[in-house]
Amino acid sequence: MVNSESPRFIAGVVEGFYGPPWSPTERGELFDTLAAGELNTYLYAPKDDLKHRAIWREVYTAEEAATLTALIQGCTSRGLNFIYAVSPGLDIRYSDLAELERLHARIAQMLSAGCEHFALLFDDIPDRMHLADREAFGSFAAAQSHVATALFRWLRERSPAARFLFCPTPYCGRMAERKLGGENYLATIGRELPPEIDVLWTGPEIISREVTVEHVREMRRVLQRKPLLWDNLHANDYDGHRFFCGPYAGRTPELRKEIAGVLLNPNCEFPLNFVPLRTFAAIVRESGAWDARAAYLAAMSEWLPRFVTVSGAVSLADLVLLGDCYYLPHEEGPEADAFFRRAAELLTAVPSTWGEEAAAFLVECARLRELCGRLAELRDRPLFYALSRRIWELREELDLLERYVTARSENKSSNAAPRSDFHLPGTYRGGLVAKLQRLLTPRADGSFTPLSAP
């Protein structure tokens, strides 16, 4: 259960991605899902709410405030905590008292709308300070701690039970190692922030493949409090070609004892979060061993009824295969991984040695390609719209593979490269971005090698 470790344990979702925010209908469905999964929190922090970040000094209009009031009521009526976040770090003057008064005005407006809990975010901001701020505080950490502490104390006078969250500028291990925000940033934050303030953390990386108990214990020592995990495992705002419908993985139930809570920051496209949300809720409730793959398969079975097309239902086996193609940031699901390995082995072998392997591969390739085509007929149109660009891209690659393998199978002795009338230069894998991507090739260790000169 969520409260098994502490009644203050936070478990829920942060809407904190870059891109169009979720609609009121989607947020209502989210609140129902959180309540049904025995989760307890929603953190409002969509980067594309301009008044959350870019123009944070401006209070909401009456119409905007009414919309937020309805959102807060919809959240709290389901027994969930609503946390409102403001992100002033792009241009705040830390030493200017008027800036703190502007933050007071924003918090006061949200208090009047029924919000009780708040977050102050300093993520993804320029690593520099105004001269007056540096002269007043000496460091980013000291300046941000001053503002956060003052705002927290002001808030607690008006809302004594308020939960207050803080996101540091270096919010993952790699950023801290590179001293983003300055020397001893996290140690300063840990020392100067009141212990009641929760500090958000994403793990070793921005998108962490794994978050271990050992890692979290070290951060607890540095921050002088249990970190609150802002988990980007299923976030996809950094890659418009992918989404992630794999299970909540790389974390164990034992982690709950070491953290103040965990907030999942999932896919931008709300319909694609079905499996992430349900497997996340399952691990929060789990008291024994965690089997991520079993949880994934169970959630896929629950998701299956939404995959009804005009010609009938998609099979569970096909849905699992599709989901494995869009599993997690650092890995494909086992069926998609096996498919890729077979394709790579086939294409690196001499065509005269392919034998039955080519025929078997073509059958499997056609199955997945045809599934992508069938999904265009989904009766759940919002689900299709969320999938459409990604599965079209997959379908095109599968079509090209089929044509290539078929051509080489029919002419094994030819040295001529097969051509496709449907995948032409400029219109296929074209554009400036694709050209730029070919200039530098990433290595497994994270370094890059440039394109060799012709």
User: What residues are annotated to the active site?
Assistant: 124
Dmax of the chain from CA atoms?
A: 82
Question: Concatenated DSSP letters for 212-224?
Answer: -HHHHHHHHHHHT
Report yes or no: 250 and 210 within 8 Å, Cβ to Cβ: yes
- What sections of 254-291 are H helices per DSSP? 274-285
Secondary structure class of 293 (helix, strand, coil)? helix
Task: Calculate ∠ Cα 450-452-454, nearest 5°.
Answer: 145
Residue 276 CB-density burial (10 A; 0-12 exposed, 13-18 middle, 19+ buried): buried
Q: Which residue(s) pair with 449 in the sheet?
A: 441
Decide: 372 and 395 in contact? Cβ < 8 Å. Answer: yes
Question: Which of 281, 279, 286, 275 has the alpha carbon at shortest distance from 316?
Answer: 275
CA angle 357, 359, 362 (to 5 degrees): 110
Task: Give how far the C-alpha of residue 174 lies from the chain's centroid of Cα atoms, to the nearest Å.
Answer: 18
> Is 381:417 a contact under the CB 8 Å cutoff?
no
DSSP H stretches of helix in 86-184:
97-112, 131-137, 140-158, 173-177
The residue behind tokens 């403001």 is 86
What are the structure tokens assigned to 34, written together? 């959180």
Distance from C-alpha of 187 to C-alpha of 13, rounded to nearest angstrom: 27
DSSP string, 409-430: HH-TT--SPP--TTS-BTTBS-
Distance (Å, whole) CA 371 – CA 369: 5
SS3 of 43, please? strand
CA atoms within 13 A on the CB side of 366: 9
Q: Which helix (H) or strand (E) holds 190?
A: helix 185-192
Q: Are 27 and 67 in contact (CB under 8 A)?
A: no
The C-alpha angle 262, 266, 271, rounded to 5 degrees, equals: 135
As a whole number of Å, the end-to-end CA separation of the chain is 60
Residue 258 has phi, psi (to 5 degrees) of -105, -5
